[in-house]
Structure 1
């Protein structure tokens, strides 16, 4: 029986605290500024990818969530696959004449996201990171995650940050070929494991203005972006990295919220203006701001930090000790439909109805926001900082014996 060359990997979602917005090279996906993110726990949010190389395959083929996706020549997927084949040849086959010539075989790839695609949760980041991790495993590449991040970046910019767990910086780099525009780990998950995140899913529809087109419009038309790139981000990168290393949540929270605000200010400063947040997004900000005001007045420092990517969904970062109180506060203003809260980490007793847990801290000014109808926030996902890509066993493979997906859409 012929050898089956196959590997399965999963990769995490990451949510930036210093935002990437704008490219200086759209083909290589080189950013106008450095960025920094928190990798979230794959036990809750992940992309899983199985790759197989076989001499009988007639073309490179990808299935996303059970549906065949076109691999356009010269497109982002094709670029990642080609680069990984090139690395296989250079680092393995050229070094060891007995190594199977996997770089010459076509590949079948199946990928699955366990969360809605294009919902403002970074599916492209975890997706391209899982693709790269899976092929790197298949090809037994003897290279670092930073090297792989250069390839993942050419699929989706933020994907480069999902090649590591913990707290990750994407360094913008200076070289025109992109060889120094890569991800490095600022600190592993184990350094500050009690950083938790509450994702408030305001909308799971596709975005009005895609990130790709939106950010280039900003580069072309926003004077504020130029100020951000030159005067603001470099210092924030240093300050937030220091805050992470010192586990200084106050500084981490202040910078995270300020950078989210500035990213959305830059979107508004674009011509024509881009609006990613909606009234519910802004109400969540008002609730977090009042919660921090009360906490600061009580001498307890910042307890929560909101951040928004290119969409209306909020991610609230907090230390583990405060997350229960934050969930109780959020559901006071944004009650949940049954089953819409994913209590992944067992904050409440098993079977507890989350709306019954709603409570507002003493001294909280409830006039800062209106209580919304059930489902204004469509779901709450409680998660935490997590690890980088994982190599998975054969039992989790997405491809069947014939090299086609086990489950088709």
Structure 2
């Protein structure tokens, strides 16, 4: 499947070298995407909060080379060369070559850094691939200056998806939908779109404190987990449930019902991990301290009538979500009762962000 509108333009300017830098945030899904078809097409619609502090900053230096037979690039994370990253980026380059014809014309130096631990369930692939896609689109814009900003944003999201599905949800804020859904006008399986409705004031500047239960690399990659949905006995029911929940949360985000928000978001998190535990082969990404934190949140909410809740990504870390109006009380609760369950006492205070930024 080739998306014609994004295919590379053969009539381009000529450039010899340059450098571009972008930062892109991670995102945390409220309705989860788990399971995909070929070409990184999601089996169900998802929606996410765009984060602010948890981001990847990528500096891309490009230099024209003599031949255009192969890809040529080096990857650095925090200043250290990372040859382990090269196979994934080569797969990405192969996928996007029909849309960016210049990829074999340059040698690329990709220098990247995260503001959070890599490969620990904070969607580093989402922020990393969206930042890299934005850098590549800067080159495409230089070669094809007639492109308008809306087209560039859409194509960047399209390319980012081909690197990591959830990366297409990191470009804008504060809520982004990915996947075709009848409730969301112009929604698409090919790229993320900004949530098209006004959100209730309850969700303005919503807070996300990420408790780092386990900063190590995940035992099972998200790619493997997604693939296990192909023969999963409950996959079809899950896809239906997720699309129904997308419709429900569309209303909740507009009417501001925090109790319904809590129920849906926590159910989505637990369902995601239930699908992992009932795959074949099965696996568990939660840790004992993940469960301790969840139970503490439930007890605190019952005792105080707080609107704090949790969600989980495909990992052990816990995203503690709460309204800005409860910031002081929830942070005190986290320091008093939850930090003890974090690896080395580490956590990240974050909130809803705006998406990509050129530096």
TM-score by length of 2: 0.82
Which residue number in structure 1 is paired with residue 214 of structure 2? 203
Root mean square deviation of aligned Cα = 2.9
Tell whether 2:29 aligns with 1:20: no
How many residues are paired up?
A: 326
- 149, 152, 167: which one aligns with 2:160: 152
Which residue number in structure 2 is paired with residue 9 of structure 1? 22
Tell whether 2:217 aligns with 1:217: no
> Contact (CA 8 Å) 1:256, 1:306: kept in 2 or not?
yes
Query: Matches of 1:77 and 1:12 in 2, distance apart?
Result: 19
TM-score by length of 1: 0.72
Query: Matches of 2:189 and 2:218 in 1, distance apart?
Result: 31
Query: Matches of 1:164 and 1:145 in 2, distance apart?
Result: 9
Residues 73, 235 of structure 1: alpha-carbon distance in 2 compared, 3 angstrom cutoff: closer
Tell whether 2:331 aligns with 1:384: no
Which residue number in structure 1 is paired with residue 302 of structure 2? 293
Residues 34, 153 of structure 1: alpha-carbon distance in 2 compared, 3 angstrom cutoff: same
> Contact (CA 8 Å) 1:167, 1:189: kept in 2 or not?
no
> Contact (CA 8 Å) 2:137, 2:152: kept in 1 or not?
no
How far is 1:173 from its partner?
Answer: 7.7
What are structure 2's unaligned runs of at least 5 residues?
A: 1-14, 142-146, 183-187
Residues 74, 275 of structure 1: alpha-carbon distance in 2 compared, 3 angstrom cutoff: closer
Tell whether 2:83 aligns with 1:82: no
Moved more, 260-269 or 105-114: 105-114
> Contact (CA 8 Å) 2:17, 2:64: kept in 1 or not?
no
> Contact (CA 8 Å) 2:312, 2:319: kept in 1 or not?
yes
> Cα deviation per residue 1:349-393 (whole Å; 9 max; x = unaligned)?
xxxxxxxxxxxxxxxxxxxxxxx6xx556411111000110011x
Q: Secondary structure at the match of 1:316?
A: strand
Query: Matches of 1:279 and 1:327 in 2, distance apart?
Result: 22
> Contact (CA 8 Å) 1:31, 1:172: kept in 2 or not?
no
- 61, 65, 74: which one aligns with 1:62: 74
Residues 376, 85 of structure 1: alpha-carbon distance in 2 compared, 3 angstrom cutoff: closer
Which residue number in structure 2 is paired with residue 31 of structure 1? 42
How far is 1:171 from its partner?
Answer: 0.9
Tell whether 2:226 aligns with 1:228: no
What are structure 1's unaligned runs of at least 5 residues?
A: 89-101, 297-301, 337-371, 393-409
How far is 1:138 from its partner?
Answer: 2.7
Residues 219, 327 of structure 1: alpha-carbon distance in 2 compared, 3 angstrom cutoff: farther
> Cα deviation per residue 1:81-139 (whole Å; 9 max; x = unaligned)?
525524x7xxxxxxxxxxxxx98444332222222210111110000000011111232
> Cα deviation per residue 1:60-79 (whole Å; 9 max; x = unaligned)?
31313131435449943313
Q: Secondary structure at the match of 1:282?
A: helix
